A and B are shown apart, each in its own frame.
Chain A
Amino acid sequence: MVERTPFLNFFTHVILFVGFVLCIAPFAVVAIAASHNLKDVNDVPMSLLPGSDFWLNIKTAWTTADLGPKLLNSFIMAAGVAAGKVIISALTAFSIVYFRYPGRTFIFWLIFVTLMLPLEVRIVPTYAVVANVLSPYQAILDVTGLSWLIEKVSGVQVSLSLGLLNSYSGLILPLIATATGTFLYRQFFLTVPDELTEAARMDGAGALRFFVDILLPLSRNNMAALGTIMFLWAWNQYLWPLLITTDQSHATAVTELKQLIPNVGGIPEWNIAMAGTLIVMLPPLIVVVLMQRWFVRGLIATEK
């Protein structure tokens, strides 16, 4: 509906502007605080005019929290989760939409149900599994009495162990297996006309060929959208990396921010903490800006 209503136009712009200010204000405060020196940042109220120590604070934050390697860790984790998620979602959705096999619907609902079980709910069992990936198999062997049998026969005590604590795989793998992506891809695959599938069959393309040559190129936008969302989501993970990285070498930038937050009774260096926050915020921002064009298309448009 296109109407010429000057008053409504003005009113909607006021709402837009208020919303914009509400969103941008905290960022502005962070950026301004990051530019003050120790004294100014602790003034009450804090001056909203930028100070002159911005680059100095950034540098201090960078070295204090050792952000270089931490950002790299974060990047590896976020990129790994995004890529893994895109691949596994596309494959599972392909199987669910294009193949007829017994239990197909059951499997779909099984995947779907995991939407209701976020990482936080299953974090204890997930931790147990990551601490020793083979523990479920060990449990099966123990319960069935097989390990007892093996010990009796060969004298070897079976104790399977493969730990993923403090590793990139441990950081990435548990975050990949969720249903959102599968669901997004399923919905997209269902909109691909059947005739396209049939044309590919007539042209002699097998299932994998069709997937690689036709479906993947068609779902480029979806891939970008899902990849972007997952990158941001993984980058901002706090609880999981905190749990499984006991060793500094695999800590991520987001968890390391706490190094910069002043302790009770310590020097209140909020300017440094805010500078660190700015640095950690930057990479996701760059990703969003770069991917925005694809991202929006993938979420709203169905290209025909």
Chain B
Amino acid sequence: MASITIRDVKKSYAKMQVVHGVDLDIASGEFVVILGPSGCGKSTLLRMIAGLEDISGGEIAIDGTVVNKLEPRERGCAMVFQNYALYPHMSVAQNIGYSLKVAGVPAAERTQRIQAVARTLELEHLLDRKPMALSGGQRQRVAMGRAMIREPKVFLFDEPLSNLDAKLRVQMRSEIRKLHRRLNATSVFVTHDQVEAMTLADRLVVMNGGRVEQVGTPAEIYSRPASRFVATFVGAPAMNILEGTVELDGLSLLGGSRHLTMARAGLPVGTKVAMGIRPEAVRLVAPGTAGALNATVDLVEELGAGRVIYVDLDGASFSVMTSEAVHPEPGSAVGLKISPDDLHFFSSDTGTRLEVFKASVPEPAL
């Protein structure tokens, strides 16, 4: 168990900078998930913690010791790779025990520890098999076993579930979570899958373009996204964003076709803002209901438990998620009811959250 401190860490390849000064504190025993789209630098950051990539600038410390110059084996990290990276010519037992063999642990103790790990992961009957003869989920478990046996200070996961089918992914997700609860080892888990991120994380780090956008619990990130990027990246379907301009008595939306009355909260008239609302926060009502927006249905996506209804709002596409048993026909008119508490505002220029607005929103008269 160990804490990880990341201070202004940068990474450049030749002339391209891919990580721009990341600061992050990970407490001992915490399960941190780094979430972001492909190419956002999340894997690079993980690999820098592991020691597989050189650190171009800044400092990474594990348990207070700066590890910038240490070899991977000296850092006390274990890593689970996306493609598992099992040694194809070794049996499951040899794969799991390889690090102990390298470390010169006597054969008897090695066998004993391999047995213990195999018991935990229910791999006992597979110990003599080669990786080629294993299913995806079993390979995944062997990769976990290989990481566990070293009793590392830190577990690093590099998108380990992305090669599994949907059902197995859900199962492995809960297994990883259970395992973490039992071992209580500091874990850093990288993924681009937001469901994985939300379900696994004690704390979530959302990255974009080599920068940290927001750090917080999954609930915080969902309910108070710090930027427009986080707002649209976390949550499915994505948050609806309507561009608007600050006016004397509120907000002009959709190029002036709709108006939202509210206090101006110190923002100068003419400031461009983006208003966000989650599809699941919108309620469908009969068209023409007082205080509701009128829109036309474009498309209905049936999800079984609920449905996503895409509507046309003066030319802008807008999605609504509902669990009610309503099935509006495409082309029919619907009313959309929105509660002011569910509105999010972001600066159009920088994309950062504008907190001042939210507090002062009265009943919107759309």
Per the 8 Å Cβ criterion, residues 63-93 of A in contact with B are: none
Min CB–CB distance A243 → chain B (angstroms): 42
Interface residues as binary, B98-138 with A (CB distance below 8 Å gives 1, 0 otherwise): 11001100000000000000000000000000000000000
Interface residues as binary, B142-179 with A (CB distance below 8 Å gives 1, 0 otherwise): 00001000100000000000000000000000000000
Q: Are B83 and A195 in contact (CB under 8 A)?
A: yes
Residue B50 CB within 8 A of the other chain: yes
Q: Are B52 and A201 in contact (CB under 8 A)?
A: yes
Min CB–CB distance B110 → chain A (angstroms): 13
CA gap between A242 and B99 in the complex, in Å: 52
Stretch at the interface among B74-82, B184-192, B198-206, B300-308: B74-82
Q: Are B102 and A203 in contact (CB under 8 A)?
A: yes
Q: Are A198 and B85 in contact (CB under 8 A)?
A: yes
CA gap between A87 and B365 in the complex, in Å: 81
Min CB–CB distance A300 → chain B (angstroms): 18
Q: Enumerate 13 A-B pairs (CB-CB under 8 Å) in ascending A order.
A: A193-B83, A193-B85, A200-B87, A201-B52, A202-B50, A202-B52, A202-B99, A203-B73, A203-B98, A213-B98, A214-B87, A218-B88, A218-B89
Q: Are B102 and A205 in contact (CB under 8 A)?
A: yes
Interface residues as binary, B52-86 with A (CB distance below 8 Å gives 1, 0 otherwise): 10000000000000000001110001110111011
- Residues of chain B whose beta carbon lies under 8 Å from any beta carbon of chain A: 50-52, 71-73, 77-79, 81-83, 85-89, 98-99, 102-103, 146, 150
Q: Are B87 and A196 in contact (CB under 8 A)?
A: yes
Q: Name the residue on A nearest B51 (C-beta).
A: A201
Q: Name the residue on A nearest B143 (C-beta).
A: A199
Interface residues as binary, A216-251 with B (CB distance below 8 Å gives 1, 0 otherwise): 011000000000000000000000000000000000
Q: Are B87 and A204 in contact (CB under 8 A)?
A: no
Q: Are A303 and B88 in contact (CB under 8 A)?
A: yes
Min CB–CB distance B57 → chain A (angstroms): 20
B-side contacts of A204, CB under 8 Å:
72-73, 99, 102-103
Q: Are A195 and B146 in contact (CB under 8 A)?
A: no
A-side contacts of B81, CB under 8 Å:
195, 198-199
Q: Are A196 and B102 in contact (CB under 8 A)?
A: no
Q: Are B85 and A195 in contact (CB under 8 A)?
A: yes
Residue A104 CB within 8 A of the other chain: no
A-side contacts of B79, CB under 8 Å:
198-199, 202
Give 6 closest A-B pairs by Cβ, nearest first: A204-B73, A195-B85, A203-B99, A199-B85, A217-B89, A204-B102
CA gap between A135 and B146 in the complex, in Å: 54
Partner of A304 from the list B78, B88, B102, B150 (CB cut-off 8 Å) is B88
Helix, strand, loop or mixed for chain B's interface?
loop
Residue A209 CB within 8 A of the other chain: yes
- Residues of chain A whose beta carbon lies under 8 Å from any beta carbon of chain B: 193, 195-196, 198-205, 209, 213-214, 217-218, 303-304
CA gap between A193 and B83 in the complex, in Å: 10
A-side contacts of B150, CB under 8 Å:
203
B-side contacts of A195, CB under 8 Å:
81-83, 85
Partner of A209 from the list B50, B83, B102 (CB cut-off 8 Å) is B102
Min CB–CB distance A199 → chain B (angstroms): 4
Q: Name the residue on B nearest A214 (C-beta).
A: B87
Q: Name the residue on A nearest B50 (C-beta).
A: A202
CA gap between A46 and B85 in the complex, in Å: 64
B-side contacts of A205, CB under 8 Å:
73, 98, 102
Q: Name the residue on A nearest B149 (C-beta).
A: A203
CA gap between A218 and B88 in the complex, in Å: 8
| Apart from A195-B85, A218-B89: 11 A-B pairs, beta carbons within 8 A | A195-B81, A198-B52, A198-B79, A198-B81, A199-B86, A200-B87, A201-B52, A201-B71, A202-B73, A203-B98, A204-B73
Q: Are B85 and A196 in contact (CB under 8 A)?
A: yes
Q: Name the residue on A nearest B158 (C-beta).
A: A195
B-side contacts of A198, CB under 8 Å:
52, 79, 81, 85
Known: A193-B85, A218-B89. A202 touches B103 (CB 8 A): no
Known: A193-B83, A195-B81, A213-B98. A202 touches B72 (CB 8 A): yes
A-side contacts of B72, CB under 8 Å:
201-202, 204
CA gap between A86 and B118 in the complex, in Å: 38
CA gap between A214 and B88 in the complex, in Å: 9
Q: Are B85 and A201 in contact (CB under 8 A)?
A: no
B-side contacts of A202, CB under 8 Å:
50, 52, 72-73, 77-79, 99
